[in-house]
Structure 1
């Protein structure tokens, strides 16, 4: 699961914007997920990661921003009889 809001806090308050990017650091051998951010905070995240890399708290490597894409599904929404039978079957198991 991905958080429903940006990971950044400003003046102790969490950003209310939805995430637009998954932030990771790509090193020589691995990729490390750091968090999620909105477009507004993209530059701030880049700067903070640079500072943390300099302090050795985050592995060195390239900062990567992967665009999040919304995906919707109606495969189990309880609107048809088959869904209710499957849900009921799980509940009774």
Structure 2
């Protein structure tokens, strides 16, 4: 949410926290809001409202299955650039 409105950008990253050799998914974000989400998670961690650990951003990957069929108009563009954060 930004200024009370939901972001119109498609999700580009899965946001997770790595702690004690476990990984916990906490959400998704677009590239534009990546730093804002990171900052908010850091605040929540400092307040003890979210698990401590390293914040990890993993690129969203397109997945296909035999049970879901569609044509090219059903797909959205997914940026496959990797992130080192």
- Tell me the secondary structure at the aligned position of residue 18 of structure 1: coil
- 1:19-34 correspondence runs (5 A): 19-34=11-26
The question of 1:54 aligning with 2:59 is answered no
Superposition deviation, residue 28 in structure 1: 1.2
Could you tell me which runs of 5 or more consecutive residues in structure 2 were left unpaired when the two chains were aligned.
71-85
Select the structure with the greater relative contact order (CA < 8 A; seq sep ≥ 6).
2
Could you tell me which runs of 5 or more consecutive residues in structure 1 were left unpaired when the two chains were aligned.
1-8, 79-93
Structure 2 counterpart of 1:38: 30
Bigger-Rg structure (1/2): 1
Superposition deviation, residue 32 in structure 1: 1.3
Superposition deviation, residue 29 in structure 1: 4.0
- Tell me the secondary structure at the aligned position of residue 10 of structure 1: coil
Q: TM-score under structure 2 normalisation?
A: 0.73
Q: TM-score under structure 1 normalisation?
A: 0.67
Structure 2 counterpart of 1:70: 62
Superposition deviation, residue 72 in structure 1: 3.9
Structure 1 counterpart of 2:10: 18
Higher helix share: 1
